[in-house]
Structure 1
C-alpha cells in the first residue's frame, strides 16, 4: 500500500458511525503508511483536551484543521496538498466522498496517483438533487474509485455518475470487531447498575435524531407493556431529539419504562448493547429520501453481541439484517408492527437465542474488520 493521506470530517473523538468506520479502518492499516487530516471536533477547552488526548493515543499522525467542518475551499485544498507532499503520500482516501472529493483533481496534481472516496447515506441524498448531483458526478470523475456500503446506496449514487465512474464503484462497508462486541461484554453489570437485572430490556444504541426511530419505539411501548409489564426501553446515546423523546414518553404514559443514558463513552458501548434482550432501531427515511440510513452498523454490533435485531426499512439498513434469521425488518414509523415483533421476541427466549447465534456467526463470516481492511489496502 502506498503511503496514504486520509482526509475526513468524520474522525473521533467526534462520535458517530462514520467516525467509527474511518478509525477502525485506519487502525488496521500500516501506521507508518497513514497520515490523517481531520477537522476539529468542537471548540473550547473541553473539546480541545479530548481531541488532543485522543490524537496522542493514535499510532499514526493526526493533523487537525482549525475548522470544525472541512470544506473543499482553496485554503483547505492547499493544506491537504501540502500534507500530501510533506509526508510523501501517494494515495488519498476521502472518508466521505461528498463534498471533500471535489479536492481530488488538485491532490492529483500535487502527486497523488491513487484516490479513493467512500460514500455513505448522504451521497445517496445528493444524487436526487440537480445541483448536488452534478457535484457528485464531478467527484466520480476525479477519483479512481468510489466505494459504497450496499446495493441501496450503490444504485442511487451510480445513477448520478458517468457510466465509467459507476463501473469503478467497489463495495466497502464498515465492519465489526467481534472481540469487542460479544455476548460477555459486560451487559449484566450495566443492568445491575441501572436496576434492570430482572427486567426485559429493549435496547437502542444510536444518536437521538428523528430518522433513527426512537419515537416509534416509545409509541410501541404501551402495546409491549400490555404483554410484558416489566419491560424497559433503554435508549443509549445523546442528540438533539432527546427533549422531544422525553416529552413523548410522558405524553404516552410510559416515561417510567423508558430510560435515557445520555452519551456513553465508546469503551462502554459493548456493555450497553449487552444489557439488552433485544436490539431495536426502526429507522425511517425522511425529507423525500434526503435523510436516509446508509447501512446501520449498530445492527451488526448488536448481532455480534448475540442479540436479535429489529431494523427499519430505511435505505441500506436491511442489508445489515438477515430478515427472519438474525432479526426482522419493519416499516419505519410503524409502532404497531414494531410492537408485534418486540412482543414476539420478548415472549420466546429460544427464538432470541437462535437469532442471536445466527447473527454472531454471520458477523464473523462476513463483517469482520480485518477482512474489510484488506479490501481497502488493495484499493489504495
Structure 2
C-alpha cells in the first residue's frame, strides 16, 4: 500500500478553498487504497502541536512561529518545515513526498526528499506571487514577486513530477522552459457524494433576510479584490431596471468587505444588496438554497486567467445556475450557454445584461443544470481524478512493499 506524505501550507480545521481541496484529495486517495498523512508548516495552526486528527485525516504540525525580516523569515520557514518532514519520514516511512504550493512547501519537500532518497511530487494550485498581487498584498515585479517565482522554478525543475490544477498554469510553466512531459493535470474537483439533490428554498431564512420573491443573485466566498464584487454591486441598478425584484446576497467576508459595504450603501439599489457576514460552514447550504444564480465576476488578471476556481464547480455539482466573467480560469470550467453563461470582465453593464438575459430564460434552466452537473461528474469528480495521481505514483515507485517490509529508516 503506497504511503503518501502531503506537505501543506495549512489544513483543516481552517476552512478555505485550499483546505477543502486538500481534504478531497486525501479522502479520495484513502478510498483508492492509499495511506495518506499531511504535514503543515510553522505559519499556521497555532495551538495544535504534534499530530492532529480532523475528519478522519492525520496532520502533523510543525511548531512555530518563525520570525525575521522578509526573506529571512521565509528561509527559516523552509528549514523548519524540512526538519519536520524529515522527522515524519524517519517515523512513518512514506513512499512519496507530495508537496503542494506555495513554493516554501515545495522547497522544504524537495530538500527533504533528496536527503532521504524519496520521489518528490510538486503540485501547483496557483502562482502565489500572482495571488499576492490579486489580494493587494504584493506588487508585480517586486523583489518578493521575483524571489517567489525563482524559488518555484527551482522546485519545478527539481521535482520528479509536477501537477497543476489547470491548463493555464501548465502552459505558463512550459513557456518558462520546464519539461512539458513531467507536468500533469489534477483539475479542481468535488466529492459528488457530498452533493445530492439541492435542498428546497429555506423559506424561514428567506423571510429573516427579507429577500422577497427575487430573483436572488448570490456570491458565497471570500471578498478579495480580484473577485470583482464591486462590479457585481455596480451591476445591480442596471439589473433592477429589467427585474425590479432582484436581490444580491453576499455571504462571506474578507479584505474588501468594508469597501464593498460602503459602495453598496451609496448605491441606488442599496435596499436590494444584503451582506450576511461569515456564516458557519454547516449553514452554508441554507444560503445556497436561496440563490437563483451564483455570480462569479472575477476581474481580468494573470491570476484569474491562469487559475481555475473551485466555487463554480461546487455550484454546478449542486445543480445551481452559474454566471461568470469571461476570464481564462472560468473558460476552462464553463461552456457559455450550455453549463453556464460568461460575460465580459470588468464591465458592470455586461454583467447586468447577462444576468437579466439569463433570468429571462428560466425555461432553459433545467437543461443548464443537468449539463453543469454532468460536466462536473465527467471532468471534475475526485473519485475519477484520483487516478491521475495513481498513474504518476506508480511510475515513480512501482509496487511498494507492504507495511511489514518497508525501507529502513
| TM-score under structure 1 length normalisation | 0.88
Structure 2 distance, partners of 1:263, 1:112, is 45
Give the Cα–Cα distance (whole angstroms) in 2 for the partners of residues 191 and 84 of structure 1.
Answer: 51
Measure, in 1, the Cα distance between the counterparts of 2:206 and 2:42: 35
Cα distance in 2, alignment partners of residues 79 and 228 from structure 1? 57
What's the offset of the Cα at 1:292? 5.8
* TM-aligned CA deviation for residue 107 of structure 1: 1.7
Q: 8 Å contact 1:327–1:355 — kept in the other structure?
A: yes
Deviation at 1:277, TM superposition (A): 0.6
- Which residue does the alignment assign to 2:97? 92
- Aligned counterpart, 2:396: none
Give the 3 Å change call, closer, same or farther, for CA 88–187 of structure 1 in structure 2.
farther
Distance 2:84 2:22 in 1: 20
Residue from 168, 175, 189 that aligns with 2:182: 168
Separation in 2 of the partners of 1:306 and 1:247? Answer: 33
Residue in structure 1 matching 2:61, options 45, 61, 64: 64
Matched, 1:358 2:358: no
Residue matched to 2:70 = none
Q: Pick one of 226, 231, 248 that aligns with 2:263.
A: 248
- Preserved CA contact (<8 Å) 1:97 1:146: no
Instruction: Return the match for 1:147 from 149, 163, 169.
Output: 163
- Matched with 1:116 is 121
1:76 corresponds, among 72, 75, 81, to 81
Structure 1 residue 250 displacement after superposition: 1.2
Moved more, 298-307 or 55-64: 55-64
What is the CA distance between 1:153 and its match in structure 2?
Answer: 1.5
Specify the alignment match of 2:323 in structure 1.
310
Q: Which has the larger radius of gyration?
A: 2
For the structure 1 residues 352 and 315, does the alpha-carbon distance in structure 2 shift closer, same or farther, using more than 3 Å as the test?
A: same
Judge conservation of contact 2:21–2:189 (CA < 8 Å) in 1: yes
Contact 2:78 2:107 in 1 (8 A): no
Asked if 2 retains the 8 angstrom alpha-carbon contact of 1:81 and 1:106, the reply is no
Cα deviation, residue 112, structure 1: 5.0
The alpha carbon displacement at 1:123 in A equals: 5.2
**1:35 matched to which residue of 2?**
37
Structure 1 runs (4+) deviating above 6 angstroms are: none
CA RMSD, 1 decimal: 2.8
* SS of residue paired to 2:253: coil
Answer yes or no: is the 8 Å Cα contact 2:217–2:291 preserved in 1. yes
Q: SS in structure 2 opposite 1:73? A: helix
How many residue pairs match? The answer is 370
Deviations 1:200-259 (A, max 9, x none): 110112200110111111000001111111111111111111111110111113222111
Structure-2 change in CA distance of 1:2 and 1:161 (3 Å): farther
The DSSP-based 3-state class of the residue aligned with 2:103 is coil
For the 8 Å contact 1:182–1:270, the answer to whether it is kept is: no
The answer (yes or no) to whether the contact 1:92–1:116 under 8 Å persists in 2 is yes
Matched, 1:274 2:276: no
The worse-fitting range, judged by mean Cα deviation, of 116-125 and 360-369 is 116-125
Report what 2:224 is aligned to.
Answer: 209
- 2:386 corresponds to which residue? 373
Q: Counterpart in 2 of 1:283?
A: 298
Q: Identify which of 175, 187, 193 aligns with 1:179.
A: 193
C-alpha separation in 1, matches of 2:54 and 2:151:
36
Higher deviation after alignment, 64-73 or 136-145: 64-73
Contact 1:222 1:254 in 2 (8 A): yes
Are the equivalent residues in 2 in contact too, given 1:302–1:308 (CA < 8 A)? yes
Stretches of structure 2 lacking an aligned partner (at least 5 in a row):
67-72, 132-139, 394-409
